[in-house]
Amino acid sequence: MKELTRDEIFNMPAGIELNALVAGNVLQISDYEHIFHGEICIKCHRETDFHSGRIYPDNKRTCDIPDDYSADIAAAWLVHQMVVHKLFSVRQRYFEELQKLVSAECTESGKTVIAYPDVFIFVKPSHFCRAALLAVKE
C-alpha cells in the first residue's frame, strides 16, 4: 500500500478499488467468495448449477470481485470488527481517522462539525473502510 498517500486514501470514494484495498490490507484476504443469489453471483454474474456444483462459464471457484465493504454496512461491519480487535495504537488511529473523515464530510456539506461520540450518527460504510486503511497503513 506504499504507493497511496494519506490524502488519496482519505478522499477515496466507495467502490471496487477501496473494497480491494480493504480486503487485502485489513482483512488480509485475496481470494474472494462468490455470493450467489439464486443461481447467479451478484458480484461477477457467474452462474452455478447447485446440483452439479459447477460454476459457469469457467468453473472458477473464487470470485474476481471483493465484497462491497465500502457501501454495504453489513460488509463494512466486518472491517470495523477486524480493526477494533487489533492493538490499542491501531484502534486509537482508527477512531481518530473515523472522526476526521466524518467531520470533513459533514463540514463540506454545511453541517456542524461533529464531535465524538456524535460521529457515529453520520458514519457510513466507506468511512469505516478508509479509517481502517489509514489505521493499518503505518
Where does this chain bind Zn ion (CB under 5 A)?
Answer: 34, 41, 43-44, 63
Contact 127, 119 (CB under 8 A): no
Shortest Cβ distance from residue 55 to Zn ion (Å)? 8
Smallest distance from Zn ion to CB 77, Å = 21
Closest listed residue to residue 34, CA positions, set 72, 73, 61, 68: 61
For Zn ion, the closer CB: 66 or 134: 66
Minimum separation from the CB atom of position 123 to Zn ion (A): 28
The contacts of residue 81 (CB under 8 Å, 6+ apart) are none
Instruction: Locate 52 and state its grid cell.
Output: 452439479
